[in-house]
Amino acid sequence: MTSSALRNAWLEIRKLKHEPALAFLIAAVTTITCFFVLWPIAKVVSFPRPEDYLQLFTNSRWFQAALNSLFMMAISTLSCTAVAFLFAYSIARLDIPFKGLFRFVTLLPIVSPPFIVALSYILLFGRQGIVSKQLLHANFDIYGWHGLWLVQTITFFPFAYAVIYGVLKSLPVHLEYAAHNLGATRWQVFRHVFLPLCRPGLAGGALIAAMNVLADFGNPMIIAGNFTLLPTEAYMQMSGWFDLSSASVLSTALLLPALALFFANRIWLGRRSYVTVTGKESSLKAYPVPSYVKWGLFACCLFVALFVLAVYGVLFYGAFTKTWGYDWSFTLQNLKYVAAKGTELYNSIRYALFSSFAAAVLGMILAYLVQRKRIGFNRLLDFLAILPGAVPGVFLGLGFAMAFNQAPLDLSGTSAIMILALTFWNLPTCYSASSAGLQQIGSSLEDASLNLGAGSFRTFRNVLLPLLKGPFLSGLSVAFLRSVTCLSVIIFIYSAHTSVGTVSILNLVQNGAWGGASAFTAVLISIAFAVHAATQLIARAYDRRKS
């Protein structure tokens, strides 16, 4: 079985000798991807001695960190999925006001720096918090698992929402009418028809949320206090004692469940099938729900929406406040922090631009090769392209730090390593966007171009490239946002010269400089959104010209 597969692969490879340029491209892309994806992972996993891994069970602090990570993942996944379902159902099925606001709220956390909710949470409820100190005159201890739980729910429910909403929106309404017609009550229809049809979406959303919560570094770093998790513990080992072995063990412990979740998600998405798109029933409206249910759900959505808005509002308020908790007067002083850290800000933008562009180009080439060329190892290349998406950011950063600090490629402390790490971290995003785009372009278009006399490269340039502009730009724009707001990947590889905005914010937070941290975050978000909006405008202008 395997040997015949290998033989087939070899036959396909041998056919490539007719197209030497293509063969060279394939060889180059495969080598580069292997080198920057597999090598860092192998380096981390193989670094500790086997007995070091046993410490995971013997060292009680580490064991506790692993348990904490799993526990946090479990409860946050539940709450994220619940809130996501609430929003998805309300937006897709109910006739309620403020839907625009609710959609906006589900988008905000996706495009923000990862620790922003934790930071705002401190500003709202911390010892000097505006709610706790000014309104309630209370003092609660917000550091720990319950604080983190709330923060993770707000941060990651939008990821689950995107998946669940996609499924809910395409559910055929006429099935519910059929059930009503057969005599089912509203509650029975919900339980027997609607929920079972939603299940693929709920599972997919839960998996996405779980992956993100498990791998998250920024929020726990700021809010978890003594509640240690695997990513933060790995960082402590590295920054505190420079203990590479321990950091590797902890990161590997994080990698395994992350991989499992990731591939469960891939398989699950592949099977999600009973959503039938016939385009016939689109005009049917959902069967109305009783008004007390409708307004009850609306109230819940509004509450969450207001909370998210408060998170961002307080941040911008904090940016212009003299001393949080003591002196609420207006100041521009905090912006000076930002000005003083101009290099970091400049680095953030620069690295994000380079890495997102590189990721978009590489992602498109990979998607083209995997989908359109029979090269004998398409599945392997596909796997390589999506693998970084399964690797927690902390792990990837550690991998780059360990793999490229010596020959054959010593990049430690350079801008190159920052750009490369971000590029490969964003590769799956761009690759998936291009892949999805390619899937919508029928292969007969390329056949037609070949048939009219254009070779592989001309066909790619004349036919595919113009049609892939949309996916290319959207991948680029998401990769840019992710890069600007990334903390976990670069925490192990930045140096004094190559530090970026998110690192500065973390330092400001750890020093209790709330004003400066808020101001810096506000500026970073503004820049990221401006660039995002610009690419959206370009894409839209392009669309308009086309039609």
Partner 1 sequence: MSELQPHIRIDNVTKSFGSYSAIRNVCLDIPRGSFTTLLGPSGCGKTTLMRLIAGFDEPDSGSILIDGAEMNGIPAFRRKTPLVFQEYALFPHMTVYENIAYGLKLQKVPRDEIRRKVGEMLEMFGLEGLGDRQPKQLSGGQQQRVAFARALVTGQDILLMDEPLSNLDAKMRVEVRNELRELQQRAGITAVFVTHDQDEALSLSDRIAVFDKGRICQAGTPWEVYFKPDNAFVADFVGTANFIPGEVAAVEGGELVVRCEGAHHRVDGGGRSFSQGDQVTLVVRPECISISMEAGPEGSAGKGWSGEIMSSSFLGRMVRYRVRCGSMTYDVDDASPSVRGVLQGSVRLQMDSSKIHVLLGSGEL
Report the interface residues with partner 1, using CB under 8 A: 15, 18-19, 442, 444-445, 447-455, 458-459, 462-463, 466-467, 546-547
Look at the chain and count its residues: 547
* Burial (CB count within 10 angstroms: exposed 0-12, middle 13-18, buried 19+), residue 316: middle
Token pair recorded at residue 221? 């770093």
Work out the angle between the directed axes of helices 116-125 and 501-510 (0-180°, nearest 10): 30
Tell the smallest beta-carbon distance from residue 283 to partner 1 (Å). Answer: 23
User: What is the C-alpha to C-alpha distance for residues 311 and 521, in angstroms, rounded to an integer?
Assistant: 12
> Residue 322 is inside which H or E element, if any?
strand 321-323
Tell the smallest beta-carbon distance from residue 312 to partner 1 (Å). Answer: 39
Token pair recorded at residue 335? 């912006």
Distance of CA 385 to the CA centre of its chain: 15
- What SS3 state is found at 422? helix
Q: How far is CA 292 from CA 91, 96, 101, 289, in A?
A: 16, 12, 21, 8
User: What is the C-alpha to C-alpha distance for residues 339 and 336, in angstroms, rounded to an integer?
Assistant: 5
Nearer CB in complex with partner 1: 15/322? 15
Q: Omega of the bond prior to 408 within 30 degrees of 0, cis?
A: yes
Tell the smallest beta-carbon distance from residue 7 to partner 1 (Å). Answer: 13
Tell the smallest beta-carbon distance from residue 453 to partner 1 (Å). Answer: 4
Tell the smallest beta-carbon distance from residue 20 to partner 1 (Å). Answer: 13
Closest CA to 334 of 326, 322, 345: 322
Instruction: Say if residues 36 and 239 touch (Cβ distance below 8 Å).
Output: no
Tell the smallest beta-carbon distance from residue 442 to partner 1 (Å). Answer: 7
Instruction: Say if residues 208 and 163 touch (Cβ distance below 8 Å).
Output: yes
| CB neighbour list of residue 288: distance below 8 Å, 6 or more residues apart | 95
Nearer CB in complex with partner 1: 19/52? 19
Nearer CB in complex with partner 1: 34/445? 445
Residue 323's DSSP bridge partners are 327
| CB neighbour list of residue 337: distance below 8 Å, 6 or more residues apart | 508, 513, 515, 516, 519, 520
The CA angle 397-401-406, to the nearest 5 degrees, is: 155
Tell the smallest beta-carbon distance from residue 447 to partner 1 (Å). Answer: 6
Nearer CB in complex with partner 1: 183/442? 442
Closest CA to 93 of 38, 209, 171: 171
Instruction: Say if residues 396 and 424 touch (Cβ distance below 8 Å).
Output: yes
Tell the smallest beta-carbon distance from residue 339 to partner 1 (Å). Answer: 45
Nearer CB in complex with partner 1: 50/442? 442
Q: How far is CA 297 from CA 88, 91, 187, 226, 301, in A?
A: 11, 10, 15, 36, 6
Tell the smallest beta-carbon distance from residue 59 to partner 1 (Å). Answer: 51
Tell the smallest beta-carbon distance from residue 431 to partner 1 (Å). Answer: 22
Tell the smallest beta-carbon distance from residue 466 to partner 1 (Å). Answer: 4
Nearer CB in complex with partner 1: 18/137? 18
Nearer CB in complex with partner 1: 31/440? 440
Nearer CB in complex with partner 1: 19/243? 19
Instruction: Say if residues 69 and 214 touch (Cβ distance below 8 Å).
Output: yes
Instruction: Say if residues 224 and 144 touch (Cβ distance below 8 Å).
Output: yes
Nearer CB in complex with partner 1: 309/441? 441
Write down the residue that tokens 């739980």 correspond to. Answer: 149
Nearer CB in complex with partner 1: 46/462? 462
Instruction: Say if residues 393 and 490 touch (Cβ distance below 8 Å).
Output: no
The CA angle 25-28-29, to the nearest 5 degrees, is: 85
Tell the smallest beta-carbon distance from residue 467 to partner 1 (Å). Answer: 6
